[in-house]
Structure 1
């Protein structure tokens, strides 16, 4: 039974922060975000929740694979899992910074640090479980888009509260 519980827990955990962030985001979209100058190339709002659900689930499963194949927190997986936890905390922090505090400049810096931490996580996952590192590549791709979007919104809305 634990062969199913552990991966399920690993998949659910990242989504919990995403769900919490969704409550913050939902409140800010109509009265703030929709009134910002946003680029024409931004994805439609309805895509963010399903994309993040897929990405959180993929990254959670990837962390499980590394935990399983790398000897848990006492084995070769120690550093990769520490990086994973760091990037997850940074990921969860972006939403309250951007949508909650409406600090677009700080969110731009934070997402840049997040991007670097995710890249380091991918590199550290690779020797432990190659599939796990590949599972994080779509996340890095979406994060690249989100980083460009965050920067663009900050650049084009500097006159707003930040």
Structure 2
């Protein structure tokens, strides 16, 4: 009987369940404070904020985040399947930190209505996203590249958050 001992990371099913579960949890937690139709006061507050002209229309956000999180889910899956190493551990730590940051940003901005702290949180998420791309690329080039949309979006979001903070506080 052939041995099926695994020397790599998690099985495909385990990796998929963990990656998709973490990303889904981050999206659902973040949505709890977002200006969706089931949060009319938050929606009203957000609509009344002074925002720069380059603010995307509201429908852009769920589309962007769905694409970004799908990329991160696949990147996380690839890392979870990779051979264990200190680099993999570091990349997964950045990946997890990004999920926490994504989940928490909406609470800070929309839930606490703290535009200043949301700007700080966004900048921290951006730094974590860059860390993810750099470390994930050492383990799996594709996993690292899949983090680039997060870096781009969060860079833009930090600029946007800072401008909203400046215009409203």
TM-score surpassing 0.5? yes
Q: Which residue of structure 1 lines up, in the alignment, with residue 122 of structure 2?
A: 111
Q: Which residue of structure 2 lines up, in the alignment, with residue 131 of structure 1?
A: 142
Q: Which residue of structure 2 lines up, in the alignment, with residue 36 of structure 1?
A: 49
Q: CA deviation at 1:88?
A: 1.6
Q: Deviations over 1:5-64 (max 9, x none)?
A: 532541342122212322311225432000000111111101111210111111111011
Asked if the contact 1:10–1:64 (Cα under 8 Å) also holds between the matched residues in 2, the reply is yes
Does residue 22 (structure 1) correspond to residue 31 (structure 2)? The answer is yes
TM-score, normalised relative to structure 2: 0.84
Q: Which residue of structure 1 lines up, in the alignment, with residue 76 of structure 2?
A: 63
Q: Flag structure 2 segments of 5+ consecutive residues without an equivalent.
A: 1-10
Q: CA deviation at 1:121?
A: 0.9
Q: Flag structure 1 segments of 5+ consecutive residues without an equivalent.
A: none
Within 2, Cα distance between the matches of 1:15 and 1:51?
Answer: 15
Q: Deviations over 1:125-146 (max 9, x none)?
A: 0110000010111111111111
Give the greater-gyration-radius structure (CA): 2
Moved over 6 A (4+): none
SS in 2 for 1:81: helix
Within 2, Cα distance between the matches of 1:54 and 1:120?
Answer: 20
Within 2, Cα distance between the matches of 1:61 and 1:9?
Answer: 11
Does residue 45 (structure 1) correspond to residue 58 (structure 2)? The answer is yes
TM-score, normalised relative to structure 1: 0.88
Within 1, Cα distance between the matches of 2:71 and 2:128?
Answer: 17
